[in-house]
Chains A and B, each alone.
Chain A
Amino acid sequence: MSSEVNRKTWEEWEKGVLANGEQALREELLLVDPRPRSEMNRMLLEAMQRITPGYVITLLILGTLTLVGLFFAWGFQMRWGMGVAGIRRPVFWGFYIVNFVFWIGISHSGTFVSAILRVFKAEYSRPITRGAEMMTTFSLMVAGLFPLIHLGRTWRFYWMIPYPNQRELWPNFHSPLLWDMTAIFTYLTGSTLYLYLPLIPDFAMARDHTTGWRQKLYRILALGWRGTEEEWRHLMTAMKIFAFVIIPVMFSVHTIVSWDFAMTKKIGWRSSIFGPYFVVGAIFSGVSAVITMLLIARRSLKLHYFIRTEHLEALSVLILIFSFSWTYFFFNDFLVEWYGGDAVGHQLLTLQARGPVAPLWYAMLIFNILIPWATLWSKKIRRSATALFLITLGINIGMYLERVIIVTGFLQRNRMPFDWGTYNPSIVELSITVGSFSMFFFLYLLFTRFLPYVPVWEVHEGQLTHKIVRVGRAVVTAKTHLE
């Protein structure tokens, strides 16, 4: 009798524990918390049509800053010449190149979060791929402007394009600048199409559930998608090919950007590890920016069902790993210069540790190493939206400072001490820099209301393949491979 009572109590207790465990898993993990497809579609469409006064005012401010800060200042520079910029001998590369490298770095976010995690079947990335891919496309658009701005005589940009001409002049295919242009064109084309491909079924969904101009727009963008077996098969194959192709292209782009520096004879730049150092830094800042933008989008679009703490936590672990990796490369670069015995190299290190660049250098170390290492080991912090917002914002400030130091700092010292100098960005350069940030945020926020921010069909597919199962006294998730 007593054992029967015990058994009953145990069974009741077990039932309660399992139910609670299941409930906790559903609250935590999107893929085991399914909702009807129509409800998910509705949530996303409502988010896309949520145009509040705050949103409109933000867009207006960003749009004005882009027009005035970026395009007006750029026009002013074209009218009066490069003299209005702060670049002077010996610092001939200033904020334009800093911005170029920074935005190319941010563009690595989409490829890393979307393509690499897709290839490795990291299931949690399903709802966040679109937001990351959008970042890649828009940051590349912004990055692509800076070589044109830096040209000075922007209207001569077509000299970079190989075409038969009466002067019989051809671009120099041995120049890193031409490699840059080719690589960026390939990457921008690839990442835009890679953004577009998985959007087609979502455009069809939007076409089916909207009216008026939106329906007309989505009808064109959906290309007559019906979801036939042929369409799905070819889409899935194309997405796989794109995921595999875009990864090496991503690596090549930032490696080539690093060669803009490493191919010169400049002390501090001429380094064989600049390629991987730049790539790791780019992924570090890119993934950090994904978290920042996901948090903004989640709040603005009210997408708390789709974008959960699990996603932020998983990405912040990646950030910690990339902070370690970036530090490894930074230390490599620094140590070789330190013990390399080159007098100019030592001058560069002194400039960073005790010279005018020191505040930027220490701030970079604090934002990129000290803060991530001191905080992201903690699960509690990794799960805090506010903390992650501040940490990831700090990392991108740190990464921006890294580029400022490498570009404008290292140019201040060379082998001829009479030619040493300093650099102060002009108001035009600062204005264009602010304008470029505004342009990125403007495009991103604008398109969150036009492009379905979450690939609903991918989430739905993921939810079909994930189940909660019981193993012993625990409830855990299990994945089925349907391919």
Chain B
Amino acid sequence: MARTETSPIFALIDDIDAAARVVEELEQVGVKPDQVEILSGLPIDHAILGRPKIPERMTVITPMGALIGFLTALLFVFGTVALYPIRVGGHAYFALPPKLIIMYELTMLGIILSTFFAGTFWESGLLPFRKKVYDPAVSDGRIGFVISVTGDLRERALEVLRHWGAEIKEPEWRAL
């Protein structure tokens, strides 16, 4: 694909310190943080690169999952007894202690499933087979910059990247 004005800039940097300087200078020349996407082969905290903190809703999703698991357990352990009562050996219909075990396990299962499906897939936007800009060098430890800017800003961004020794590449749209 030929490089056009509308296609993003893709650059690779080896060093974290240089990447942090690039982030800083891009902001100085007028590139907004949401116009820059950073790809890396290891987790780099937002504070290290001076990027805004990524918002996340895990604190809502996980308790919701726990609640769903807990309510499912309630349905099983109390609903069953209420619907089909069987009197056995003078035991209480609603004996709480043994039911606590099922309630505990299903609550934990709710947390596990909600964290995995909603937290990891939905929140991260991990959807396979969609074409995205990527370079395998990222998994070899290089830091990738995908910068979506046009016109004069594009030139200034390129200048910053060149100054810090970034390797500017043709953006490859890969079906990952």
Contacts and interface: CB of A to CB of B under 8 A. Distances in A.
B77 interface: yes
Contacts of A232: 40, 42-44
Contacts of A204: 139, 176
B139 A41 contact: yes
A4 interface: no
A186 B80 contact: no
**Among A193, A224, A235, A236, residue most surrounded by chain B Cβ atoms (within 10 Å):** A224
Query: Which has the most chain B C-beta neighbours within 10 Å: A41, A162, A183, A232?
Result: A232
A260 to B, nearest CB: 12
Contacts of B8: none
Contacts of B176: 204, 207, 219, 222, 224-226
Contacts of A236: 43
B124 A231 contact: yes
A415 interface: no
For the residues of A in contact with B, the DSSP-based class is helix
Interface in A214-246: 219-220, 222-238, 241-242, 245-246
Contacts, number: 176
Interface string B82-111: 001000000100010011011011101101
Contacts of A245: 108, 111-112, 115
Given A226-B132, A461-B43, A182 B112 contact: no
B40 A238 contact: no
> Of B16, B99, B116, which is in contact with the most chain A CB atoms at under 10 Å from its CB?
B116
Nearest to A169: B84
Contact of B108 (A41, A197, A248): A248
Contact of A238 (B39, B106, B119, B132): B119
B141 interface: yes
Contacts of B18: none
Interface stretch (B24-32, B54-62, B147-155, B156-164): B54-62
Contact of B105 (A182, A201, A464): A182
Contacts of B134: 226
Contacts of A223: 121, 126-128
Interface residues of B, number: 57
A366 to B, nearest CB: 36
B5 interface: no
Given A238-B58, A460-B42, A230 B128 contact: no
Contacts of A186: 105-106, 108-109, 112
Given A37-B141, A238-B115, A238-B120, A229 B38 contact: yes
A457 B41 contact: yes
Interface of B: 16, 37-46, 48, 51, 54, 56, 58, 62, 76-77, 80, 84, 91, 95, 98-99, 101-102, 104-106, 108-109, 111-113, 115-116, 119-121, 123-130, 132, 134, 136, 138-141, 144, 176
Given A37-B140, A183-B105, A233-B56, 5 more contacts: A234-B56, A237-B119, A241-B119, A245-B111, A483-B45
Interface of A: 36-38, 41, 162, 168, 170, 173-174, 178-179, 182-183, 185-186, 189-190, 193, 197, 200-201, 204-205, 207-209, 219-220, 222-238, 241-242, 245-246, 248-249, 252, 256, 457, 460-461, 464, 482-483
